[in-house]
Amino acid sequence: MTTPVWFITGCSTGFGRELASQVIARGDRVVLTARDKARLSDLVAGHEDSTLALDLDVTDAGQIEAGVKAAFERFGRIDILVNNAGYGYMATVEEGEEDQIRRQFDANVFGLFAISRAILPIMRAQRHGRVINITSVAGFIGFPGSGYYAASKHAVEGWSDSLAAEAGPIGIQVTCVEPGPFRTDWAGRSLVQTPNRIPDYAETAGARLAGTKAISGRQPGDPVRAAQAIIQITDMEKAPRHLVLGAFGVNAVTTKLRERLAEIESLRELGISTDFPDA
């Protein structure tokens, strides 16, 4: 195959920026996107032949259509889509604000769906492609104070399972990357919070809301190593369905899945008993 073409959303900061930087450095071609492409000028400088910077708000259907068209006209293919754009919203479930909830789902869920639908026909025609969705440990675990964020990431995880089953037979592989806490300034830059004012939640969601921004800049995860890991899985012949990043994430997710399996097994006979006897 020729040098692969990446299409990465949300490249102005965080994982998207670090990943874009490393992909460029290794000589791959890449479409970099951000709400304001001017913030990508330093990444593009000196690599104009192998990069294309685009203004892209994933909630804007017109920008999605124009961006995918420009990418295909420039490079003639798209091999790896990285759905990275999105942000966090934290609130107790009871105190969640409707406009904030819907705004987050527009970016984290519906925007991701839309950009994927726009690029899938290109990958389908190629009979080759990788879709990498940056979700979160919250795609497996609903922590107190982040119910709506977790819901958005759970939605992407379930959607990815279906896409993998549909598109896998025609050469399109799907991976969900689930980071734990990483030092991307996510909490200080890309996090919206609704303060907890109900005393009954003060020791659960309230405590977590208060502590999340305080740890920004001290998280154990290294974005450079995370980008290297993401690039590494694209070189594998068979892409993994899941890549959990960071010790906290790996330990939390494996513990949660073991607990869930044990609970399902403990109720196996009760669950099976609900079938018709002659089924």
pLDDT, tens only, 215-262: 666 676 789 999 999 999 999 999 999 999 999 999 999 999 999 999
* Contacts of residue 238, Cβ cutoff 8 Å, sequence gap at least 6: 173
Q: Which tokens belong to 11?
A: 């490249």
Q: Name the residue type at position 153.
A: K
Picking from 114, 116, 158, 168, the residue whose alpha carbon sits closest to that of residue 135 is 158
According to the model, what pLDDT value does residue 276 have? 96
> What pLDDT band is residue 191 in, cutting at 50, 70 and 90?
confident
Tell the residue number behind the tokens 């992407």, with chain if given: 156
According to the model, what pLDDT value does residue 220 have? 67
> What average pLDDT is seen over the chain?
94
| Catalytic residue, candidates 89, 148, 149, 201 | 149
> What pLDDT band is residue 189 in, cutting at 50, 70 and 90?
low
Instruction: Based on the residue annotation, tell me whether 149 is a catalytic residue of this protein.
Output: yes
- Rounded to an integer, the average pLDDT of 191-197 is 90
More confident residue, 232 or 1: 232
DSSP label of 2: P
> Among 32-41, 166-175, 183-192, 249-258, which stretch is predicted with the lowest mean pLDDT?
183-192
Q: Is 140 helix (H, G, I), strand (E, B) or coil?
A: coil
E strand intervals along the chain = 5-8, 29-34, 51-55, 80-83, 88-90, 129-134, 172-179, 191-193, 242-245
Q: Which tokens belong to 122?
A: 């290109």
According to the model, what pLDDT value does residue 266 have? 98
- Rounded to an integer, the average pLDDT of 38-46 is 96
According to the model, what pLDDT value does residue 172 have? 98
> Among 92-106, 141-155, 202-216, 217-231, which stretch is predicted with the lowest mean pLDDT?
202-216
What would you measure as the largest C-alpha separation in the chain, in angstroms?
70
Q: Are 32 and 44 in contact (CB under 8 A)?
A: yes
**What is d(CA 216, CA 219) in angstroms, rounded to the nearest whole number?**
6
> What pLDDT band is residue 279 in, cutting at 50, 70 and 90?
confident
Kindly tell me if the per-residue pLDDT of 159 is higher than 90: yes
CA distances from 273 to 263, 265, 266 (A): 16, 13, 13
Kindly tell me if the per-residue pLDDT of 93 is higher than 60: yes
Backbone angles phi, psi at 84, to 5 degrees: -110, -25
E strand intervals along 93-251 = 129-134, 172-179, 191-193, 242-245
pTM exceeds 0.75, yes or no: yes
According to the model, what pLDDT value does residue 217 have? 60
- Rounded to an integer, the average pLDDT of 55-62 is 97
Kindly tell me if the per-residue pLDDT of 1 is higher than 80: no
- Dihedral of the alpha carbons of 31, 34, 38, 40, in degrees to the nearest 10: -50
169 CA to centre of own chain: 23
**What is d(CA 131, CA 249) in angstroms, rounded to the nearest whole number?**
21
What domains appear along the chain, each with residue ranges and CATH number? 5-249 (3.40.50.720)
